[in-house]
């Protein structure tokens, strides 16, 4: 782990790896660094999002709300596809 990293978790899916890092700034403040590394034909592409201490709680709540909505939409979509398949048979 690097000097300013407190904790890291990663998730690899296909050609993408997501990193969830808790880091400490030079001023001693914690922040969340979410990054994506994607393998391409030309190497790797990196994307990064920094969420600062004062925004972490609101960010987590907004993410949870969005994820809940996403799950509901996925469930509706799955139900529609199942219904469509049942009508074909």
pLDDT, tens digit (0-9, with 9 covering 90-100), for 30-61? 999 999 999 999 999 999 999 999 999 999 99
- What gap in Å lies between CA 34 and CA 45, rounded to an integer? 14
Q: Tell me, what's the pLDDT at 22?
A: 97
The total of structural domains in the chain comes to 1
pLDDT category at 67 given cuts 50, 70, 90 is: very high
- What gap in Å lies between CA 48 and CA 54, rounded to an integer? 18
Output the 3-class SS for 27-87: CCCEEEEEEEEEEECCEEEEEEEEEEHHHHHHHHHHHHHHHHHHHHHHHHHHHHHHHHHHH
pLDDT category at 68 given cuts 50, 70, 90 is: very high
10: domain CATH number is 3.10.450.700
Q: Which residue range forms the structural domain that includes residue 69? A: 5-88
């Amino acid at each position: 782990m690097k000097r300013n990293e407190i904790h890291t978790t990663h998730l690899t899916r296909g050609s993408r790896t997501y990193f969830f890092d808790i880091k400490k700034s030079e001023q001693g403040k914690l922040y969340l660094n979410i990054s994506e590394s994607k393998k391409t034909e030309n190497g790797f592409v990196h994307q990064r999002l920094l969420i600062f201490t004062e925004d972490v709680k609101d960010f987590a709540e907004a993410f949870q709300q969005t994820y809940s909505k996403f799950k509901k939409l996925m469930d509706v979509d799955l139900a529609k596809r199942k219904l469509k398949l049942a009508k074909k048979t």
